Amino acid sequence: MNSLKIRFTENEMKNEKTPAEQLVFGTKFTDHMFVADYTEGTGWHDHRIVPYQALTLDPSASILHYGQTVFEGMKAYLSEDGIVRLFRPEQNMKRMNISADRLSMPQIEEELALEALKQLLEIDKEWIPKEQGTSLYIRPFMIATEAHLGVSASKTYTFIIIMSPVGSYYKEGIHPVKILVESEYVRAVAGGTGTAKTAGNYASSLKAQEVADREGYAQVLWLDGLERKYIEEVGSMNVFFKIDGEVVTPALNGSILDGITRKSIIELLKYWGVPITERKVSMEEIREAFLNGKLDEAFGTGTAAVISPIGELRWKGELFYVNNGETGELSQKLYETLTGIQRGVIEDPFGWVVELKK
Amino acid sequence: MNSLKIRFTENEMKNEKTPAEQLVFGTKFTDHMFVADYTEGTGWHDHRIVPYQALTLDPSASILHYGQTVFEGMKAYLSEDGIVRLFRPEQNMKRMNISADRLSMPQIEEELALEALKQLLEIDKEWIPKEQGTSLYIRPFMIATEAHLGVSASKTYTFIIIMSPVGSYYKEGIHPVKILVESEYVRAVAGGTGTAKTAGNYASSLKAQEVADREGYAQVLWLDGLERKYIEEVGSMNVFFKIDGEVVTPALNGSILDGITRKSIIELLKYWGVPITERKVSMEEIREAFLNGKLDEAFGTGTAAVISPIGELRWKGELFYVNNGETGELSQKLYETLTGIQRGVIEDPFGWVVELKK
């Protein structure tokens, strides 16, 4: 691992920055991007930070037909103290390699990728918005580039990091959303690619989301593909419930993404001494908890929203309200603590935060 | 539908053609390609035949992250009589729209796409190899191009047709392959995207193929994702068995691709009066048929190979041989009849073949 391996070409044409309040998620990108190429036999080469620019791909490039691609999502925060912070970035790089293995793609050099990210952040530091709730969204991804129409693993790949300033997920403060429990479509099944952060899972989810949108729901809740009974994820987030004082979340079963926010919440709850169990959670259990007045709280977790409280669930025509459609106490506390740690305003007892040199 | 809508820019630099015997599947492309763009609100526009060229995509383009892409595979044949023939091309365009719907992508204009393909074939006619067993492989595909990192359907798309001269699938005549029955990985499950020709299904399959390769097997046989008992597909082909004189193939169940070769074989067998049933087929049934000496034939079906006879199946350590590892009589007859119809040397009683004007 040698940071000198990274060549730098400056962007002479600086892009104009958008005021924080006008930022739309994932539409505006910083001046530079990191790129490295992989060739079978040679390995990774040509590590470079270059002006943000279009990619050129042969029309037969493997990614366009056979979908070999993996990605990660993470954020950099700039606080009042002028320090740039990352949240558990090594976990993202590690997970990217787990995803890559499932997709028959090469392993990235985790430490070098992290070093590249730090250099890229240093170069595009001015792009990190400072305002409360804002951040710089970071998207590392790898695509298969071989010009070959054949169902086999590509012999060449490109690894890229792009970054996008994003506004506050909650423009008017954290608030609960309405969720539709999906009965027709399935996100993933054990033996498939559900545990990998790969394009196919997201492509597959759009149709259900379309229906949910139409019916006025923010996201769908995915049930297992086998029995259509057990809860898996909500939208592209992991999901937690507080039932009769106990917090439960679906156990990692081979079709659920091993979320970094999910993992952090479990660790935080244990640290606080709040009972938390990873196990199978059925919709029938949620229904009964609701009917018995024991469905205290429900929330999705992920990098984009951190915590997304659920105020209402619709399942087979029945409506289950959670905490009278208000954000629960625990959801609020988890949100404030996690975002506080991420921004450096709350002490980090776990060593999660990586501070960049000023 | 108006063919005058298609603008033509000639490729001044003609590519060199590869001799038929040196052709490798899907690596060499003709001089031109068809392209059309789609914008939400405007619809399809800018239909054009242009020199085969690289695509430029923003690094945040939807296809690279969220996998909205569908494709088709078809072939054009040039026979002794100088006529170019397509095999049921309207079926491919129709299926592309079924796939597109599942992926929340816009519908293509089927008739215009077919007209565009015919014009493209006329322009690049010299690229269609004549030799026995060769053909021009045609790949229509659509990708999501919006520069936006967000899990939602893209607002812009590009539809492209590229073409690649391909050599004979069977260089030394049709011969049976060894198949490994897959027990760990799953291709698709009902409610997922198994019935759509989309990248994620293929990306997901590579890991199992890697294992099969290593153990000396040509392809994997996929079992259902729910009970891991019932046969779904073999590699990226549909599959048929002849058991005790009856032909059976897995029924379309929501996770199996509705293959055009599969459909044609069913119609051909019915025409011949050979008993053919679409139903659930378990591996246990195949095992028993083998043990009772009733596993007459087995073969995969698809556009690339047409018929791919299976000579051996491995399931949970047991080996089942089919027809002593020889190509069965029915498999051979189906192969000769279908390829004969496709090349215009056997009469087509079904109206499957579309001949291009000379």
pLDDT of B59-73, one tens digit each?
Answer: 999 999 999 999 999
Q: Please check whether residue B124 is in contact with residue B30, taking contact to mean a CB–CB distance below 8 angstroms.
A: yes
Closest residue on chain B to A58 (Cα)? B54
Under the phi-then-psi rule, with left for phi > 0, alpha for psi from -120 to 50, and beta for the rest, what region is B163?
A: beta
Mean pLDDT calculated for residue range B165-193: 90
Q: Give the torsion sign (CA, A121, A122, A127, A132).
A: positive
pLDDT given at position A3: 55
A172 pLDDT band (50/70/90 cuts)? Answer: confident
3-state secondary structure of A273: coil
Amino acid at residue number A71:
F
Side-chain-facing half-sphere of B232: CA atoms under 13 Å? 27
Closest residue on chain B to A51 (Cα)? B59
Checking if the pLDDT of B2 tops 60, the result is no
A262 pLDDT band (50/70/90 cuts)? Answer: very high
Q: Which residues of A touch B209 (CB under 8 A)?
A: 104, 151-152
- Cα→Cα distances A84→A110, A125, B342, Å: 20, 8, 64
Of A104, A150, A205, the CB nearest to B26: A150
Rounded to whole angstroms, how far apart are CA atoms A128 and A76? 7
pLDDT of B72-105, one tens digit each?
Answer: 999 999 988 899 999 999 999 999 999 999 999 9
pLDDT of A131-159, one tens digit each?
Answer: 988 999 999 999 999 999 999 999 999 99
- Cα→Cα distances A22→A79, A175, B309, Å: 20, 20, 60
Checking if the pLDDT of A15 tops 90, the result is no
Q: Is B214 on the interface with A (CB under 8 A)?
A: no
pLDDT given at position B3: 55
A272 pLDDT band (50/70/90 cuts)? Answer: very high
pLDDT given at position A1: 44
- Domains belonging to chain B, first-starting first, are 3-166 (3.30.470.10), 177-342 (3.20.10.10)
- Among A41, A47, A153, A26, which Cα is nearest to A100's? A153
Question: Percent of chain A at pLDDT above 70?
Answer: 99
pLDDT of B20-31, one tens digit each?
Answer: 888 888 999 999
Of A33, A185, A188, the CB nearest to B59: A33
pLDDT of B268-283, one tens digit each?
Answer: 999 999 999 999 999 9
Q: Which of A34, A57, A65, A120 to mutate to test the interface with B (most CBs of B within 10 A)?
A: A65
Checking if the pLDDT of B171 tops 80, the result is no
Rounded to whole angstroms, how far apart are CA atoms A252 and A233? 11
Both tokens of residue A267?
Answer: 């660790």
pLDDT given at position B1: 44
Q: Is B149 on the interface with A (CB under 8 A)?
A: yes
Q: Give the torsion sign (CA, B336, B339, B343, B348).
A: positive
Mean pLDDT calculated for residue range A82-94: 97
pLDDT of B236-246, one tens digit each?
Answer: 999 999 999 99
User: B33 vs chain A: nearest CA distance in angstroms?
Assistant: 9
Write out the H or E segment, with its range, that includes residue A136.
Answer: strand A135-144
